[in-house]
Amino acid sequence: MEVLMPEPQIFVERTLAIIKPDVIDKEEEIEDLILRSGFHIIQKRKLQLSPEQCSNFYAEQFGKIFFPNLTAYMSSGPIVAMVLARNCAISYWKELLGPSNSLRARITHPHSLRALYGTDELRNGLHGSLSISSAEKEIRFIFPEAILEPVPTGQRARDYLNVYVKPTLLAGLTALCKEKPADPMIWLADWLIEHNPNKPKLQYHISQ
């Protein structure tokens, strides 16, 4: 009896991460933690939202008692918004963030980002999307030019690998053999990052 194995698929989620105004001076430190946690930063933008834009972004919270303070807090200075990608990005990012109340996070998740960088329930330092649908909505809000297409699977995934991944990897391995570095894995990783043909251009500008 022949056992049919499912075709391998590539699963990559994206989520929106925001470094809020009161911890923007910790940007580099937080980004380092994000990258060391297995995420890729595929888009990045520094901007300042107006109170009206904050109201629209947090429209689902409208009517709650903390809503005015939330919009005032989020519009009080520049933020750094990032699109993070990895397998199960939304759940992993929420886990890394910890509880929304930073005071509670320090007790239950002392190593989480909100425990480390947040102040209280409102000023919790960072934002993360709650679901796939909210991630798509929030990414489009902050990055209106973003193209959110389904991740390729099956033959489309194989075609993508053959056209974009394998040629670059082969070139990197060839260069590795010629270079013969002391630490091949680190050298190859650095080479692939440097020669990535689809390397995104990060955006750094302030929007009023």
**DSSP code per residue over 139-192:** HHHH-TT----PPP-HHHHHHHIIIIIHHHHHHHHHHHHHH--SSHHHHHHHHH
Could you write out the three-class secondary structure of 175-188? HHHHHCCCCHHHHH
Q: Which residues lie below 8 Å from residue 201, measured CB to CB, with a gap of 6+?
A: none
Residues that are catalytic: 127
**DSSP code per residue over 62-96:** TTSTTHHHHHHHHTSS-EEEEEEEETTHHHHHHHH
According to DSSP, residue 14 is labeled E
HSE-CB of 117 using CA atoms within 13 angstroms: 24
Residue 161 CA to residue 197 CA, distance in Å, equals: 13
> Which among 127, 124, 9, 131 is positioned nearest to 58, based on CA atoms?
127
